[in-house]
Each structure stands twice: as structure tokens, then as C-alpha cells.
């Protein structure tokens, strides 16, 4: 028999954490996942760009509907960003009195971004924590996404009758199988970054527009910018222009091509445009740079 488990948390469109990861974990381990969503996020594997917090009245109705219909004995609580939402959750736990409440208090994202205010952290500690039977520590699961799945796994094993220590032990064993999957998601960012650098090396003489490279790599310009800033601290345009400038310098130093010939060689529409670009990058004109040899 699949035992119902209610997860009260936010939505993660990447599936790496949030309600999506909870549903996957609970289902994989033989539970029946129920949900009440507190926040919707706009995010990628690189981080969260925007939140939309669900009104507390809607969160309350979600919880009431599920609790009255399915009467789950285990509730897992994750992301709560609003004070009125916290009040609703606390009141519901006092009203329905589930046997187990597992708290995975989501404070930081996997990238270290703060997700809730200090005041909310204090309110959760003072009002929600006393109602919980098990609290996931920051070091359990090692990162937000895996800690989220760890907490869900604990909830499943508790629903199956395991004691707290046994549930935690089984959940850790389960999480060990998930580490490789998380590493694959992080590795994709590095792979994309290296593909971008290779593309710049190949196409810098004919293309200096970020859109060209984003289209070539089949990603959006915004996502490409998130990747390059996360890995190198630089915008894609900066990386393109820096590489182009380096190659122009090498050309000016090692060949006898005129400035005009060099401009056309690197795809500039005119010598004036070329000179303006180079001077902006280096602070001197191509002619003056060449005389420094």
C-alpha cells in the first residue's frame, strides 16, 4: 500500500529540488506524493532569477484539501518565504496533527543565494521547529537539491514505519546514488562554457555577436551569460572581445598587413570601426600599438 506524504514547499522548474524533486523521490521509494506549493521560481541549473510567492490563502486551501481527503500521517516542509504562509502552515500542523513532520528549512540555494530573510529564519525556528519530529541538518545531503531529496526520503521511510535513526540511515544510502546525477547537471555548465570558448576560437573573425554563439550552441543569450559569469566572472561579450583583441594584437605584431587589411581580415566593415574598437579595448590606436613593437 502506497502511503500518502504531503510536501509543502516551492516549485523548481529544473526538477533538481522543490516539489518536483519531492514527487520524484517519494514516488521512486514507493510513497504517494501530495503537494501544497508555496512559491514558484524562475530558474535554471545555475540559479534562481525570480520568485512568485503563492498567496497564503491559496496555500491554506491546498493543505486543507489534501489533509481532509487523504489524511497523510507524514508531512515534509521545505521553502516558506512569507510570514502569513508560515502562520498558515503552523496552524495546519496544529489542527491536523500528523504523526511526523520533517523540516528541510530552505535558507540558501545550492549556489549560496539567500532565499528567505533573517526574520523569517527566526520565525521558522521559534514557531515551526517545535512542531517538527525531525529536522534535516545543513550537512545532510551536502547541497540544497540533495538535502531536499534526503528529507523526502526520510519522510517516505518514516511513513513505512521506520524509526528516526533507521529512516535517516536508509535515506543516506538512497542519496549516495543521487550524487552522480547532481554532478552531471553541474558538468553541463562547464561543458557548455568550453564549447563556447571553442566556438569563439573558430568564429571570432566573422562573428562578435553573443546571439550568434548562443544560437550556435542552441541556448538563449541570457543562459549563456549566466554560464560564463558563473564560471569566469565575465559576460560572453567580454570574452569574445578579449579574444578578438588578443588575436588582433598578434596579427599586428607578427605580420605586415596594413591596418585596413587587418580590419577586413577580422570582419570589420571599415578601418574606422576597427580603430574605434581597438582603441576602446587597448586605449591606443592600432597604428600606435604597432609602433610599440
CA distance 6 to 9: 10
CA distance 232 to 84: 40
Please tell me whether residue 136 adopts helix, strand or coil conformation.
coil
Lay out the sheet containing 74-77: strands in order across.
47-53, 32-44, 4-11, 74-77, 100-103, 134-135
Sign of CA dihedral 125, 128, 132, 136: negative
Going by C-beta distance under 8 Å and a sequence separation of 6 or more, which residues neighbour residue 88?
A: 56, 57, 59, 60, 63
Instruction: Please tell me the predicted confidence (pLDDT) of residue 69.
Output: 95
Instruction: Please tell me the predicted confidence (pLDDT) of residue 113.
Output: 62
CA distance 198 to 219: 15
Instruction: Please tell me the predicted confidence (pLDDT) of residue 270.
Output: 93
Contact present, 176 and 31 (Cβ < 8 Å): no
Would you call 7 exposed, middle or buried from its count of C-beta atoms within 10 A (0-12, 13-18, 19+)? buried
Main-chain dihedrals φ then ψ at residue 37, nearest 5 degrees: -90, 130
Instruction: Please tell me the predicted confidence (pLDDT) of residue 142.
Output: 46
Instruction: Please tell me the predicted confidence (pLDDT) of residue 286.
Output: 92
How far separated are the first and last CA of the chain, in Å rounded? 80
Angle, vertex CA 264, rays to CA 263 and CA 267, nearest 5 = 95
Mean pLDDT by 10 residues, the chain (293 residues): 90 82 89 95 73 94 97 95 96 96 78 76 94 79 65 92 91 72 61 89 93 94 89 88 90 90 92 94 92 74
Q: What domains can you pick out in the chain, each with its CATH number?
A: 4-177 (3.40.1190.20), 187-291 (1.10.10.60)
Q: Which three cell numbers mark 90?
A: 503552523
Q: Which three cell numbers mark 292?
A: 610599440
Amino acid at each position: 500500500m502506497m502511503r500518502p506524504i504531503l510536501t509543502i514547499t516551492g516549485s523548481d522548474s529544473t526538477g533538481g529540488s522543490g516539489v518536483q524533486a519531492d514527487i520524484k523521490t517519494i514516488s521512486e521509494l514507493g510513497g504517494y506524493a501530495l503537494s501544497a506549493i508555496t512559491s514558484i521560481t524562475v530558474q535554471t541549473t545555475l540559479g534562481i532569477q525570480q520568485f512568485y510567492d503563492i498567496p497564503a490563502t491559496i496555500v491554506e486551501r491546498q493543505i486543507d484539501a489534501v489533509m481532509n481527503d487523504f489524511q497523510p500521517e507524514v508531512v515534509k516542509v521545505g521553502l516558506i518565504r512569507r510570514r502569513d504562509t508560515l502562520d498558515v502552515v503552523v496552524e495546519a500542523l496544529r489542527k491536523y496533527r500528523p504523526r511526523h513532520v520533517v523540516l528541510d528549512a530552505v535558507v540558501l540555494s545550492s549556489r549560496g543565494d539567500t532565499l528567505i530573510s533573517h526574520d523569517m529564519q527566526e520565525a521558522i525556528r521559534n514557531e515551526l521547529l517545535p512542531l517538527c519530529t525531525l529536522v534535516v541538518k545543513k550537512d545532510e545531503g551536502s547541497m540544497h537539491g540533495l538535502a531536499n531529496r534526503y528529507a523526502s526520503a526520510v519522510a517516505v521511510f518514516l511513513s513505512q514505519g521506520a524509526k528516526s535513526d533507521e529512516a535517516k540511515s536508509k535515506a543516506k544510502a538512497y542519496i549516495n546514488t543521487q550524487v552522480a546525477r547532481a554532478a552531471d547537471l553541474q558538468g553541463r555548465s562547464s561543458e557548455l562554457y568550453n564549447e563556447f570558448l571553442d566556438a569563439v576560437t573558430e568564429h571570432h573573425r566573422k562573428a562578435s555577436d553573443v546571439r550568434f554563439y548562443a544560437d550556435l550552441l542552441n541556448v538563449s543569450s541570457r543562459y549563456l551569460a549566466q554560464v560564463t559569469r558563473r564560471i569566469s566572472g565575465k559576460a560572453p561579450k567580454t570574452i569574445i572581445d578579449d579574444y578578438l583583441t588578443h588575436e588582433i594584437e598578434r596579427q599586428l605584431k607578427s605580420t605586415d598587413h596594413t591596418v585596413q587589411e587587418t580590419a577586413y581580415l577580422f570582419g570589420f566593415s571599415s578601418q574606422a570601426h576597427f580603430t574605434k574598437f581597438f582603441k576602446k579595448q587597448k586605449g591606443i590606436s592600432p597604428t600606435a600599438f604597432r609602433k610599440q613593437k
